[in-house]
Amino acid sequence: VILTLTLNAALDITYDVDALVPRSTHRVRHTRQRAGGKGVNVASVLSRLGVPVTASGFLGGRTGVDISADLDARALPQAFFRCAGESRRTVNVVSAGDGDATIFNEPGPVITNGEWSALVDGIPELFVRSRAAVLVLSGSLPPGVPEDAFARLVALARDHGVTSVVDAGGAALRQAVGAHPDVVKPNLAELEASTGQVDAVIGAQELQRWGALDVVVSCGPDGAVVLPRDGGELRARLRKPLAGNPTGAGDAMVAALAAGLDREPAARGEGVSPAPRDGRSGAWDWSTAIRNAVAWSAAAVLQPLAGDVDPDDVTRLAAEVELEQR
């Protein structure tokens, strides 16, 4: 089972308008809203593809209640920790004319020391209760959470025999790799923000010097580059890049990587080909893992909302992935 942790979960609200005109009043044509935040999107993709998952993190206030209700409505198992502050909303204004999006992100709750300690203290019990084999750490740290939060959680996971995947950038990624997470998956912008390197391979090698094991860099329409912990380099991309909505593509890639790492993948898991993994040595079948990662990510591009993929797209697109070993 996979446990995703979203420390700054959100209620994502989408407004369709005719056109965004600053300083005017807009009639919203259509409103959609759903639980979001990167870890929640990862959980949503896994659930959609029949992979057992539990979503966790912090929730607070009335927006926290709305997020929780949406997860219930989607039958997505959840085990969140409470915070006194109000969970954030994001408002995504989409213009009918050009499909352009203008986004407003609320700041989110300030997490107290006590709330952070309660989460750290409660995670081991949650590993047991949710029978977690993989911990996914995604997204931004809310104010009040220490900068080494992901490092601390990666260490906790290892102490309990749980594999860890980190999707972060900047300082949070730099801190996390020091604790040797099993997989990190920055995108190119996050990798540059962390390492100052614009080249995926050079940046990934820098992360490995700092302690990272397997590094997967998502490169948008150019697919992904893997630098396994035991050397080598593997690239994967779609034969033809897809047009669509890139929001949530990275989350779907993380979902695929986590599904591959899960030692008990669901029988119903679509597009999941769990490769035998030789203990913690990292000697597993990266070509299958990265093929799935690129296919899930591409399937997410075809969906209007983050956290969604069509299982048929996943199956079809996996056959369209080209691999290049170096």
Residue 6: DSSP 8-state: E
Q: Is 251 a catalytic residue?
A: yes
Q: How far is CA 22 from CA 12, 19, 102, 325, in A?
A: 22, 10, 11, 49
* Whole-number Å distance between alpha carbons of 241 and 320: 10
* Given 12, 66, 148, 251, the catalytic residue: 251
Q: Which of 18, 72, 100, 312 binds a second copy (CB under 8 A)?
A: 100
User: Is residue 28 a contact residue for a second copy (CB under 8 A)?
Assistant: yes
Residue with tokens 């409103």: 31
Shortest CA distance to 53 belongs to which of 77, 81, 79? 77
User: Is residue 106 a contact residue for a second copy (CB under 8 A)?
Assistant: yes
Nearer to a second copy, 20 or 275 (CB): 20
Nearer to a second copy, 18 or 125 (CB): 18
Q: How far is CA 250 from CA 70, 167, 173, 174, 184, in A?
A: 22, 9, 15, 19, 12
* Whole-number Å distance between alpha carbons of 63 and 78: 15
Nearer to a second copy, 120 or 305 (CB): 305
Q: Give the interface segment with a second copy, choosing from 103-111, 237-245, 268-276, 296-304 (CB under 8 A).
A: 103-111
Residues binding a second copy: number (CB under 8 A) = 28
Give me the 257-296 binding string for a second copy, x by CB under 8 A, dash otherwise: ----------------------------------------
Nearer to a second copy, 104 or 117 (CB): 104
Q: Which residues pair with 34 in a beta bridge?
A: 12
Beta-carbon count within 10 A of 22 CB: 5
Q: Which residues are at the interface with a second copy (CB under 8 A)? A: 15, 17, 20-31, 62, 65-66, 69, 91, 93, 100-107
Annotated catalytic residues are 251
